[in-house]
Each structure stands twice: as C-alpha cells, then as structure tokens.
Amino acid sequence: MDIKDIQNLIKFVSKAEVSEVKYKTKDFEITIKTPLAGSDAVYAQPTVYHTAAPQVAATSAPVATPTAGTAEKVEMVSDDSKYVTIKSPMIGTFYRKPSPDKEVFVNVGDEVSNGKVVCVIEAMKLFNQIESEVSGKIVKILVDDATPVEYDQPLFLVDPS
C-alpha cells in the first residue's frame, strides 16, 4: 500500500464517520482513529504498534492537568451554541481584506446576508472569495488575518437572530 492509498483510506474513513478502522496485511498494519474517537490518525508498523505504553503515558498527563481550562471551554461552547458558524471550504491562507490597501470585508458587529463576501482564502496563488451562507450579525472572528486555515475550520460566528 503506497501513500496515496493510505491517504484515500483516511479520507474514506473520515467521510464514513466511524471512530476507528484497523487494516492488516502480512506486511504491515494500520490503525486510523478519527476525531470521533478523540484522537488523530495513527500510522503504525507492527514493531511500533506494540509500543503503546509511552503513548498512553503521554496522553494521560495533559488530560489530568487542565481541569479549569476544560470547564472554561465547556462554558464557551454552550454560549456559542446559539450562533451559526461560517467554516472554511478549503485549505489555504485566510485574509480579511481583498488586498493589503483595501478595507476588511467584515468586522465584529457587521450585518451579513446570504451571499455576502466575508473573506478570501488563498490556495495555490488563487484568491477564493468566501461568501456567507447565513444572514445575521458577525459576533466573533475566529481566525487572525494572514494565517493558514484547514478545511472545515470555523472562521466566523454569526448571530442569525
């Protein structure tokens, strides 16, 4: 299995919305865990696969320490649950302005309507205008200008009321 086959398998698993898939042949073994399971994709050969003890120790320490931070995150999620999220439709670089000498597309407090351009994302030297799919008021801008974004990453929170 080459790298393209592995990437295709990862895409398939993420679209299937399963938490874990194990694929084993006589030459290698691969385990893919999606965010539904609470972890990222893991690639392993049989010799590495059996050394799971260091991974368990590494993941248990960060989980135990930030209990106060976890409570804050839960409160923030509950407060933001009434808002609609505008997400990135692609991987690229997020820009709030059409060009460096122009004004930003939207600010916090601005009203947006369906189809209004809210930002641009540069991917492979192409600047793609991202339009709002919801009408409402911009409550929060979640990404800094000129920073990389991932597919489906939240960019803006909009209050639809």
Written as one string, the DSSP assignment of 34-60 is: -GGGTS--B---HHHHT--HHHHHHHH
Q: What phi and psi, each to the nearest 5 degrees, are found at residue 149? A: -130, 155
pTM above 0.85, yes or no: no
Residue 26 is predicted with a pLDDT of: 74
Task: Name the CATH architecture for the domain at 82-159.
Answer: Beta Barrel (2.40)
Distance CA 23, CA 2 (A): 14
Q: Which residues contact 115 (CB under 8 A, 6 or more apart)?
A: 131, 132
What are the extents of the domains in the chain? 3-64, 82-159
Distance CA 96, CA 155 (A): 10
> pLDDT (tens digit, 9 = 90+) per residue, 145-156?
999 999 999 999
Alpha-carbon dihedral angle through residues 138, 143, 149, 150, given to the nearest 10 degrees: -60
Q: Predicted confidence band at 51 (pLDDT cuts at 50, 70, 90)?
A: very low
Q: Predicted confidence band at 33 (pLDDT cuts at 50, 70, 90)?
A: confident
